[in-house]
Amino acid sequence: MINSNLLALLEQNALLFDSSIHGLYHWQTVERNGLYLAKFTGADVKVVSYFAYFHDCMRENEHDDPKHGARGSQYAKEHKQLLDLTDEQLAMLCHACSGHTYGRQSACATVSTCWDADRLDLGRVGIVPDSRYLFSDEAKRIADEQDFEILISYEETI
Ligand SMILES: [Fe+2]
């Protein structure tokens, strides 16, 4: 959960803040997915939460914007004084943001948990998440068994 100052800044700066596809609603869903998966992967939950709010915040459109991840990473760096992160955590956050669209592999459990959390929300645009593009066992299980209900019920506990 990010603080209200940061949320207000994102509301000012994110063009698609109100979008149901790439805006706040999606970010909150990615955070929920990531916090759930972190129980299985041991991911750093602070990085997972910040990733959720930064990874798409610099999108300029809903469609073709291949550099948006890199811009999100840059934006996070520019506002690092507002983030409760060490340099090492900030580096993970930036790697997770810049690689989230095309990332195929990461040795870092936190980075791959971030990517899984985002990809498990593909149902919002009519794409069924495919376990071949997911990393953790639990994310793959959710996709293979179509068990998205477990993420929804987790929401009630956070
Ligand atoms: Fe996303």
Q: Which domains does the chain have, with CATH numbers?
A: 4-155 (1.10.3210.10)
Look up residue 95 and give its two tokens. 């790697």
pLDDT in tens, 26-48: 999 999 999 999 999 999 999 99
- Per cent of the chain over pLDDT 90 is 92
Confidence band, pLDDT 50/70/90 cuts, at residue 2: confident
> How much distance in Å is there from the Cα of 118 to the middle of ligand 1?
5
pLDDT in tens, 68-114: 999 999 999 999 999 999 999 999 999 999 999 988 888 999 999 99
> How much distance in Å is there from the Cα of 26 to the middle of ligand 1?
7
> How much distance in Å is there from the Cα of 22 to the middle of ligand 1?
6
Report how far apart, in Å, the C-alpha atoms of 5 and of each of 8, 57, 157 are: 5, 15, 24
Q: State the pTM of this model.
A: 0.96
If you write DSSP's letter for every residue of 80-98 in order, what string do you get? GGGS---HHHHHHHHHHHH
Identify the CA nearest to 70 among candidates 83, 59, 81, 79: 59
Cβ-proximal residues to 14 (8 Å cutoff; 6+ apart), any chain: 23, 57, 58, 59
- The per-residue pLDDT for 1 is 77
The alpha-helical segments, DSSP class H, found in 4-158 are 4-13, 24-41, 45-54, 68-78, 87-99, 109-119, 137-145, 149-155
> How much distance in Å is there from the Cα of 138 to the middle of ligand 1?
19
3-state secondary structure of 67: coil
- The per-residue pLDDT for 18 is 97
- The per-residue pLDDT for 126 is 95
- The per-residue pLDDT for 103 is 82
Identify the CA nearest to 50 among candidates 70, 79, 22: 79
> How much distance in Å is there from the Cα of 157 to the middle of ligand 1?
22
